[in-house]
Amino acid sequence: MVTYEVLQLIVFPGALFAICLAFLYEWVDRKLFARVQGRYGPLYTGPAGIMQPVADFLKLLSKEDIVPRACDANLFFAVPVMYATLPLATLFMMPIAAPEALIAFDGDLIFILFAFGMMTLIIFLAGWSSASRFSAIGSVRSALQMLSYEIPLGLVLVCPAIAAKSLSVSGIVQWQAANATLGAALQPIGLAVTMVCLLAELELVPFDIPEAETEIVAGWRTEFTGWRLALFRLGRDLEVLLVAALVASLYLGGAQPLWLIPATAMFVVKTAAVVMVFSFVRALFARLRIDQMISGMWKYLLPIAALQVVLVQIGVGV
Amino acid sequence: MVVNWARSGSPWLIHFNTGGCNGCDIEFVAAVTPVYDVERFGIKLQGSPRHADILAATGPVTSQIAQSLRRVYDQMPSPKFVVALGTCAVSGAPFRNCYSIQGGIDSVIPVDVYVPGCPPRPEAMIDGIAKLLQRIRGAKK
């Protein structure tokens, strides 16, 4: 029985499945991004370029590992490891193969919010430890960005919890299954605000201010080479999967079987849809300035998020 | 084997102008537009030399930039490759014996692929990089 549980954690629906799905979604994202721009995207690495993220990962693993003399060596080692493992650990709290997650407890939604905050803190430490001016600017921008999107995100993620009367992601999925409803149908404003905030969390294009290529080289990742960069890219892919899983679970019903279709397939379809929305937005928009982003988040998104909380509270009844 | 496959499957470029007239640079920028779609080969343009595998250098090396070129090359993690784009980058061309010119890219750093032309067409540049990728894939088979 214990071996079965360990196998669940390591293979399916645990670490290995999550990593494969994360790589697959990077390919989906790059391919769709290319198609929107009228290109083919990755084509020759594996069938239709599906192995492209794997090739990138292996190549980076095989490259030289450079540690700049000025950097904080211990932190420089620890940061990529933390960045890759934190979203992987948080993914265990997402219901993937069944409406019940591998690790489900009352309050894991709060833990997930905490993990999002931690990711930004790790990014800040990454920029800090590499002692480069580009990294420093990138990490400060990342921290500034967090100050603006974290609050509307926190507000709006409370709404499904209020409606379902559960602070657990699995509980919210089960509540949606039990009432045959979707979070997206009940809280469309909440869904929109969540998507915008999570775009900022992932530092995708309208909000890729911390790694703006045209201004600050590669932002906080500038100094990282070899396996460190590989782990950062893996961590980013896992974070995309985590975010897609969160949206799918809270608003789209998550991993619940539909008629003959198993729960895992439903989960994959829903998360893929969220990833595709993200890559469409990435292809359609240009980068905002940091001041536009912060004032927009505080002036417009925060009141909208508060309005959603009020509406849910009215709907549930005091 | 797998490593060679991965290296030839995901070459990330960094572009560096060592003092050219911008003609090759415009053609290079044209080569990474959607028309030619180099992402088919897994090529991505990187901002940081720390992330790049291939240094795409254009222009003759002036005395002023030689040190910077050397530094950018040293900042790249090995295995690294250099592509000299344009006749100036290959040999220094009309500026060869000029007082301020050191010569082609290979007067400062080792070069793997030479793409002549003034400027070379985007097809020629992609062909040069594709030949380099073929060599990486064939290495130690």
ipTM metric:
0.84
CB contact under 8 A, B48 and A58: no
Number of domains, chain B: 1
CB contact under 8 A, A43 and B40: yes
Among candidates B7, B39, B75 on the partner chain, residue whose Cβ is nearest the Cβ of A41: B39
| Residue B20 CB neighbours (<10 A) | 22
Tell which residue, A243, A280, A248, has the closest CA to residue A115.
A243
A-interface mutation test, from B2, B40, B46, most A Cβ less than 10 A away: B40
Q: Please report, for chain A, the start and end positions of each structural domain, with discontinuous segments joined by +.
A: 66-316
Q: Tell whether B87 is covered by a domain.
A: yes
B33 touches chain A (CB under 8 A): no
B2 touches chain A (CB under 8 A): yes
CB contact under 8 A, B39 and A56: no
Give the pLDDT mean for B26-53. 87
Which domain, by its residues, includes B125? 2-134
pLDDT tens string B51-92: 888 999 998 999 888 999 999 999 898 888 999 998 988 888
Q: Tell whether B38 is covered by a domain.
A: yes
Q: Tell whether B139 is covered by a domain.
A: no
Q: Tell whether B108 is covered by a domain.
A: yes
CB contact under 8 A, A225 and B41: no
Nearest-angstrom CA–CA distance, B132 and B8: 8
Among candidates A43, A54, A218 on the partner chain, residue whose Cβ is nearest the Cβ of B48: A218
CATH of the domain at B111: 3.40.50.12280
Among candidates B39, B41, B48 on the partner chain, residue whose Cβ is nearest the Cβ of A34: B39
* Least confident stretch, A5-19, A144-158, B50-64: A5-19
Q: What pLDDT does residue B141 have?
A: 42
pLDDT-based confidence at residue A318 (cuts at 50, 70, 90) = low
* Least confident stretch, A251-260, B27-36, B81-90: A251-260
CB contact under 8 A, B6 and A66: no
Give the pLDDT mean for A178-202. 85
More confident site: A62 or A256: A62
Q: What pLDDT does residue B139 have?
A: 64
* Least confident stretch, A122-126, B1-5, B79-83: B1-5
Give the pLDDT mean for A191-214. 82
Per-residue HEC secondary structure of chain A comes to: CHHHHHHHHHCCCCHHHHHHHHHHHHHHHHHHHHHHCCCCCCCCCCHHHCCHHHHHHHHHHCCCCCCCCCCCHHHHHHHHHHHHHHHHHHHCCCCCCCCCCCCCCCCHHHHHHHHHHHHHHHHHHHHHHCCCHHHHHHHHHHHHHHHHHHHHHHHHHHHHHHHHCCCCHHHHHHHHHHCCCCHHHHCHHHHHHHHHHHHHHHCCHHHCHHHCHHHHCCHHHCCCCHHHHHHHHHHHHHHHHHHHHHHHHHHCCCCCCECCECHHHHHHHHHHHHHHHHHHHHHHCCCCCHHHHHHHHHHHHHHHHHHHHHHHHHHHCC
pLDDT tens string A18-31: 888 899 999 999 99
Q: Tell whether B90 is covered by a domain.
A: yes
B-interface mutation test, from A50, A63, A233, most B Cβ less than 10 A away: A63
Shortest distance between the Cα of A171 and any Cα of chain B, in A, equals 42
B106 touches chain A (CB under 8 A): no
Among candidates A37, A45, A65 on the partner chain, residue whose Cβ is nearest the Cβ of B9: A45
pLDDT-based confidence at residue A67 (cuts at 50, 70, 90) = confident
Among candidates B3, B34, B47 on the partner chain, residue whose Cβ is nearest the Cβ of A62: B3
pLDDT tens string B102-132: 888 888 899 989 999 888 999 999 999 888 8
Shortest distance between the Cα of A127 and any Cα of chain B, in A, equals 14
Q: Above pLDDT 70, what percent of chain A? A: 98
B-chain residues near A66 (CB < 8 A): 50, 75, 77
